Amino acid sequence: MRALPIALTFDLDPDVFDESVASSEQRTRLSWQGIHDGIPRIKSALHNILAPRGLSAHPTWFVRVDNQIRDIYGHAGYLLATYRALFDDLRAEGDEIAWHPHLYRQVGKGWVQETDGPRLYEAMRDALDDMKAQGFTPKCARIGEAYGSTDVMAHFDRLGIRVDSTAMAGRKRIDAQRTIDWENTPPTAYRPSLADHRTPGTPHHQVMEIPMSMLRVKADYDREPFLRYLDLSFHPRALNHGLEALIETAPYLVSVTHPSAFLPAFKPENGHGLVSFTLEALHTNLSAILEHAAQLDREVRFVTLSELAEEIEGGGHVL
């Protein structure tokens, strides 16, 4: 029986996390119900789904700690300080608290992706210092909006981050809203080449890149299935197109979800063609993963992202 380690990861962004969910104006009205309401609901749902099967899961929670949070709230670690009791409890239960910086630079009244190497380092260093001051020293990180660069990888090495999970292997989108370029990235863990952070090579950075699990997903508004990350808040019908093939071939799974995507309060008036905004999707999608794994004779184990990295490295499976 082949093992199937699964890392359930959650990006703790503001509740309105994408322009497809609400207007740009609404996105500027920051709220964090996904943290104080969504996380306890998700934890309870995971227990209800997994306990009857003799399983349990300790998710990895990627918390926004960055210069944008600092500029809005006064210090980068605002969320960790505001919800300290919750994050302390999660950590005590065995969950992982990881780092999710959005590396923006303010231009006028808007924000743009920071790409300058020295400014990136300054923003990353200062945010990480504030995270540590709040009592959290993360091993893992994920850059917001899937931005990556050789500078970012070098800064991870310098700052002591062991694992990054930003890569969306096979995806490329460069426009006014996004700077995503992981088109030639392998789907499994690797040490980023010094010459090109998107691929393995020698010499390489010390940080391990563990890409998000990618599969063919068909939203209601898609003509054909489209490569997206494994998100348990998606409508089950959207994941049906690629889920079994992913479980059959992937050595492990890394799912990515925004907690508010399970909360009906944030469902658009006319619904959404991809995101469900209900915990029923978590139950259905996770149950489908477990059923497909059983049919393929794969034994599921839930791990934190740090634990997954240790298993990958211990097994010599890093490209």
SS3 66: coil
Distances (CA, A) of 79 to 41, 84, 187, 207, 249: 18, 8, 31, 26, 37
Tell me what pLDDT residue 28 has.
Answer: 59
Domain that holds residue 81: 2-314
Distances (CA, A) of 139 to 10, 17, 97, 100, 142: 15, 24, 9, 11, 11
Phi, psi of 271 (to 5 degrees): 80, 180
Tell me what pLDDT residue 222 has.
Answer: 95
Asked if residues 191 and 208 have their Cβ atoms less than 8 Å apart, the reply is yes
The token duo for 61 is 């929670």
Our count of domains for the chain comes to 1
Q: What is the pTM of this model?
A: 0.96
- Angle (CA) 208-214-218 rounded to 5° is 165
pLDDT exceeds 60 at position 25 = no
Would you give the DSSP letter of residue 37?
A: I
Quickly state the pLDDT bin for 23 (edges 50, 70, 90).
low
Q: What are all long-range contacts of 106-111, with beta carbons under 8 Å and residues at least 24 apart?
A: 106/68, 106/71, 111/68
Mean pLDDT of 252-268: 97
Q: CATH no. for residue 213? A: 3.20.20.510
d(CA 274, CA 271): 9
pLDDT exceeds 90 at position 108 = no
Tell me the per-residue pLDDT of 274-285, one tens digit each, with 9 for 90 and over.
Answer: 999 999 999 999
The greatest distance separating any two alpha carbons of the chain, rounded to the nearest whole angstrom, comes to 57
Is residue 118 in some structural domain?
Answer: yes
Question: Between the CA atoms of 213, 216, 222 and 223, what dihedral angle is there, to the nearest 10 degrees?
Answer: 160
Is residue 27 in some structural domain?
Answer: yes
Distances (CA, A) of 121 to 145, 152, 195, 208, 289: 17, 8, 19, 18, 39
Is residue 319 in some structural domain?
Answer: no
Lowest-confidence segment of 25-29, 85-89, 310-314 by average pLDDT: 25-29
Burial class (CB in 10 A: 0-12, 13-18, 19+), 110: exposed
**Residue 3 bridge partners (DSSP):** 299
d(CA 185, CA 76): 31
d(CA 314, CA 43): 29
Quickly state the pLDDT bin for 18 (edges 50, 70, 90).
confident
Is residue 155 in some structural domain?
Answer: yes
